[in-house]
Amino acid sequence: MGDAINQMNPGKAAILPDEIEIADQSRLDLRRMWAAVYRNRLMIIATIAISLLIGLLVTMFTTPIYQAYATIQIDPRNAQVLSKSADVEPDIDGGTAAEERFLKTAVDVIRSRALAERVAESLKLYTSNTFFQSMQMPEPAANPSGLAGVSEQRRRAVLSALMSSLEVQPSRESRIVSLNVSSPDNRLATEIANAYAQNAISYNLQQKVEVTAYARKFLEEELATAKLRLEDSERAAIAYAREAGLLDLNITKASDKTSNSTAQSLVSGNLLAINEALSAATGQRIAAQERYVAARTSPTSSLPEVQGNPTVQSLIRDRAALQANYAQMAERRQSEFPEMRQIRAQIGELDSQIAQISKGIVGGLKQNYDFAVRQEDELRGQLNALRSTALSEQERSVRYNILRRDADTNRSLYDSLLQRYREVSTVAGMSAANVVLLDSAQVPTAPISPRPLINLLVALLAGTAIAVALVYLRETFDDAVRSPEEVEEKLGTQFLGAIPKLQDDETPFEQLDDRLSAFSESYLALRSVLSFSTAEGLPKVILCTSSLPSEGKSTTAIALARSFAAIGKKTLLIDGDLRKPTVHFALELPREPGFSNVIVDRDTFAQAVHTEIRPNLDVLTCGTMPPNPAELFGGELVAGTIDLVADKYDVVILDGPPVMGLADGPLLASIADGTLLVVEAGRGHRGQTKVAIRRLRANNARIIGAVLTKFDARQSGYGYSYEYSYAYTYHYGHQAKERARSFWPWSKNRK
């Protein structure tokens, strides 16, 4: 190929296939993917079309489903109508996590079987015949033996339909919950959605009422029990007090929370009163004693009682007035003057009265002191008398105090329960609901299912996925070689060249006659590659074989023989297929004598060989067809014959039989200097090509490489990327139709 390109473009170097492979290496994967899609395009189109058809049929025959939705609001915290302490339900106090748990619990309650039963009963769905028709469900049978009521099977069917039609969708960012109900009947879906919303609210309120009623009942029972315990404890305390002769002064103040809780009997009360009176009497006695002692030791006139006496004060004033008058008169008269004596007599009388009154006051202090002493002695005597009585009473009051404390405890418990009962009774019926209706369901006008566009899109995606999977499976398990890269990947041998596939109106030998055709140029490129296929250069004896028949090995052998002869190498073409020979038919030569005759008698070579078919090209047909060619090739005669003819020629091209199923091919391959494996592009070999290569290598065959025949780049999906070396034939091909048709005898008269 390189020589041909250089002939057409002398100013440019030849572009070898390896260079093209390196240049396109980055696009190799995408190109192979596109090639796989292109090769399987009919299957992909059919798969996608069937999927779209199925999606269309499903859309057309699917029953329309309508969806009605109602929205409710669920608040974790109750609205406090009265004080917080009057609510019998626990308040949500745990942060966001607790509120989320409450919301999830409320949603689960809506999804529960209990709420579905309430909805069914509110809409009377158990006895409705239209419900099953609207839901397009088979109606369950009635009760066996004609029993009245709703059968259990019918109840389960109704509840199952309700629970499956409901979809509860809480909002992530709020406390709004949407109740979506799906049904083939849009009005029935609306009724069920509204019924679910209303029953969710009523169920929440009923739950609160039931909790409150239970609390009231519980408190009533506890109050009755507490009342009995209080009455029993008080009766026990009173009975013991009577029996022990104890009189509790605080018993009438039991309901007074400010009174002393310690029991006080009559004896202890008297003892306390006498003790207090004795203390007061002792104080009075001490005060009287001090006043009396002061009166005896001090002048009478200096006593506070005397000075504070009104009579004494009046007498002292009168005496002072007389003394003042006497002093004035003494300035003018003698002391013996009658008026002077009279005044002195009056002053003396006043002093006598003051002294008498003072003496009486001192006597009164003495009497007060004596009275205080007697009173103190009397009280002390009474105290001593009651002390022994109180000590004996204290021993009897221990049991009484225990009974009183028990009664007080029961009274406190009873008061607390009574207060709580009053609060619960007041708050009953005033609790706000946690569930509130926001939007009632409206009758939907358009169905939510089926959705034609979405169904077709899903069908398209499913069909595409199935098609991709089928293509992948087909490409994975298909061993057909379709591209040059797959020669090395699947066969593990060197790729030597690709022979393009001919059109229906073209023949191989006509294209070989056309020196500018892509078919002819591909063999020229193969010839160039074979010239450097080994370290010694061109192998002397080249065997052309294939794994199966009709892969193009005979055409390849003839084309290579002609190509080597064209460059001046003396070439011999041998038809080594002694079972189904084709060389003599293609070249219109006699079959006998030929290769088999030369093997048996080498002297017949001169008579068997057809010389000067073309300059430097001789042909040896197959000859007489032996009954068992494998026995003929198994001896040393074949190797000797090949060596004999190889000495006379530069190149010997041997057209061998297929490898699979026959022993001829491997035997000839062991004799040849190089074996060229011909592989038909796109043909499913079911692993036989790999087996053929293993058989050749088992017989020590030197496999030069593989050539890909009947290669159609466009059909394989690779486009024109592999036709770079033949591009010029599209420009000059029509002008070259009249050139060089002299090689094959049967083509000389072709137009």
> Could you tell me what percent of the chain has a pLDDT over 70?
78
* C-alpha dist (Å) from residue 257 to 251, 254, 411: 12, 8, 11
**Which tens digits make up the pLDDT trace of 407-459?**
888 888 888 888 877 777 766 555 566 888 889 999 998 888 888 888 889 99
Residue 230 lies in a domain: no
Chain mean pLDDT for the chain: 76
Give dist(CA 427, CA 728) in Å, integer: 102
| Domain match, 495 and 551 both | yes
- The answer to whether 658 touches 544, Cβ cutoff 8 Å, is no
Consecutive H or E run containing 553: helix 553-566
Helices (H), 245-337: 266-297, 304-307, 310-330
Give dist(CA 103, CA 114) in Å, integer: 18
Given the DSSP bridges, would you call strands 610-614 and 703-711 parallel, antiparallel or unpaired?
unpaired
Give dist(CA 228, CA 248) in Å, integer: 22
Rg (CA), the chain: 68
CA atoms 290, 291, 293, 297: torsion sign: positive
Give dist(CA 201, CA 206) in Å, integer: 9
Give me the mean pLDDT over the 665-673 stretch.
85
> What's the pLDDT at 394?
67
User: With 50 as the cut, is the pLDDT of residue 744 above it?
Assistant: no
Task: At 107, list the tokens.
Answer: 């949603």
> What's the pLDDT at 264?
54
User: With 60 as the cut, is the pLDDT of residue 275 above it?
Assistant: yes
DSSP classification of residue 649 = -
Highest average pLDDT, of 240-244, 259-263, 333-337, 669-673, comes from: 669-673
Give me the mean pLDDT over the 621-646 stretch.
80
Residue 487 lies in a domain: yes
Q: Which of 459, 475, 491 is the last residue of a domain?
A: 475
- The answer to whether 693 touches 487, Cβ cutoff 8 Å, is no
Q: 256 falls in which pLDDT band (50, 70, 90)?
A: very low
- The answer to whether 541 touches 649, Cβ cutoff 8 Å, is no
Give dist(CA 117, CA 137) in Å, integer: 18
Comparing 440 with 625, which gets the higher pLDDT? 440
> What's the pLDDT at 303?
66
Task: At 614, list the tokens.
Answer: 């073309």
Q: 715 falls in which pLDDT band (50, 70, 90)?
A: low
| Domain match, 471 and 485 both | no
Q: Which of 475, 492, 516 is the last residue of a domain?
A: 475
**Which tens digits make up the pLDDT trace of 277-291?**
878 888 887 877 777
The answer to pTM > 0.75 is: no
> What's the pLDDT at 306?
66
Residue 658, preceding peptide bond in cis (omega within 30° of 0) = no
Domain containing 45 equals: 40-62+450-475
**Which tens digits make up the pLDDT trace of 339-364?**
777 877 877 887 787 777 777 777 77
Give the count of beta carbons closer than 10 Å to the beta carbon of residue 708. 27
Residue 645 lies in a domain: yes
Q: 373 falls in which pLDDT band (50, 70, 90)?
A: confident
Residue 569 lies in a domain: yes
| Domain match, 467 and 487 both | no
Residue 144 lies in a domain: no
Please report, for the domain that includes residue 529, its CATH number: 3.40.50.300
**Which tens digits make up the pLDDT trace of 447-493?**
888 888 888 899 999 999 998 988 888 777 666 777 777 777 777 78
Instruction: Quote the strand ranges of 593-735, DSSP E.
Output: 610-614, 617-620, 651-655, 674-680, 703-711
Give me the mean pLDDT over the 646-672 stretch.
85
Give dist(CA 644, CA 371) in Å, integer: 179
> What's the pLDDT at 10?
34
Residue 505 lies in a domain: yes
Place of tokens 């039931």: 210
CA atoms 583, 585, 587, 590: torsion sign: positive
**Which tens digits make up the pLDDT trace of 544-584?**
988 888 888 888 888 888 888 888 888 888 888 888 888 88
Give dist(CA 303, CA 19) in Å, integer: 151
| 680: Cβ contacts below 8 Å, ≥ 6 apart | 546, 548, 550, 551, 552, 708, 709, 710
> In this predicted structure, which of 56-60, 172-176, 212-216, 400-404 has the lowest mean pLDDT?
212-216
| Domain match, 600 and 456 both | no
Give dist(CA 389, CA 397) in Å, integer: 12
Give me the mean pLDDT over the 216-234 stretch.
83
> What's the pLDDT at 248?
62
Q: What's the domain count of the chain?
A: 2
Consecutive H or E run containing 69: strand 66-74
| 375: Cβ contacts below 8 Å, ≥ 6 apart | 281, 284, 285
| Domain match, 700 and 661 both | yes
Q: 247 falls in which pLDDT band (50, 70, 90)?
A: low
> What's the pLDDT at 126?
86
Q: 735 falls in which pLDDT band (50, 70, 90)?
A: very low
Task: At 750, list the tokens.
Answer: 């072709």
Q: 27 falls in which pLDDT band (50, 70, 90)?
A: very low
> In this predicted structure, which of 187-196, 410-419, 622-631, 724-733 has the lowest mean pLDDT?
724-733
* C-alpha dist (Å) from residue 376 to 279, 284, 308, 381, 503: 8, 9, 27, 9, 155
| Domain match, 557 and 701 both | yes
Q: Which of 475, 509, 531 is the last residue of a domain?
A: 475
> What's the pLDDT at 684?
59
Give dist(CA 243, CA 237) in Å, integer: 10
Given the DSSP bridges, would you call strands 166-170 and 610-614 parallel, antiparallel or unpaired?
unpaired
Q: Cα–Cα–Cα angle for 161, 165, 166, nearest 5°?
A: 125
Residue 328 lies in a domain: no
Taking Cα atoms as reference points, which of 721, 720, 717, 722 lies closest to residue 39? 717
Q: In what order do the strands lie in the sheet with 495-500?
A: 495-500, 703-711, 674-680, 541-546, 651-655, 571-575, 617-620, 610-614
Environment class of 630 (CB within 10 Å of its CB; exposed 0-12, middle 13-18, buried 19+):
middle
> In this predicted structure, which of 143-157, 404-418, 525-539, 709-723 has the lowest mean pLDDT?
709-723
Give dist(CA 329, CA 333) in Å, integer: 6
| Domain match, 471 and 608 both | no
Name the phi and psi angles at 120, rounded to 5: -60, -40
Comparing 296 with 645, which gets the higher pLDDT? 645
Distance from first CA to last CA of the chain, Å, rounded?
Answer: 27
Cα 249 to chain centroid, rounded: 75
| Domain match, 621 and 689 both | yes
| Domain match, 604 and 462 both | no
User: With 70 as the cut, is the pLDDT of residue 620 above it?
Assistant: yes
| Domain match, 675 and 574 both | yes
Q: 25 falls in which pLDDT band (50, 70, 90)?
A: very low
User: With 60 as the cut, is the pLDDT of residue 58 above it?
Assistant: yes
> What's the pLDDT at 54?
92
> What's the pLDDT at 747?
36
Residue 68 lies in a domain: no
Given the DSSP bridges, would you call strands 651-655 and 571-575 parallel, antiparallel or unpaired?
parallel
Comparing 51 with 264, which gets the higher pLDDT? 51
Give dist(CA 663, CA 630) in Å, integer: 6
Q: 245 falls in which pLDDT band (50, 70, 90)?
A: low
Q: 749 falls in which pLDDT band (50, 70, 90)?
A: very low
> What's the pLDDT at 278?
77
> What's the pLDDT at 725?
41
User: With 50 as the cut, is the pLDDT of residue 728 above it?
Assistant: no
Q: 322 falls in which pLDDT band (50, 70, 90)?
A: confident
Give me the mean pLDDT over the 603-614 stretch.
81
> What's the pLDDT at 75?
83
Per DSSP, the residues of 158-210 read HHHHHHHHEEEEE-SSSSEEEEEEEESSHHHHHHHHHHHHHHHHHHHHHHHHH
| Domain match, 661 and 705 both | yes
Note the residue count of the chain. Answer: 751
Task: At 172, list the tokens.
Answer: 């992530």
| Domain match, 602 and 459 both | no
Give dist(CA 161, CA 117) in Å, integer: 11
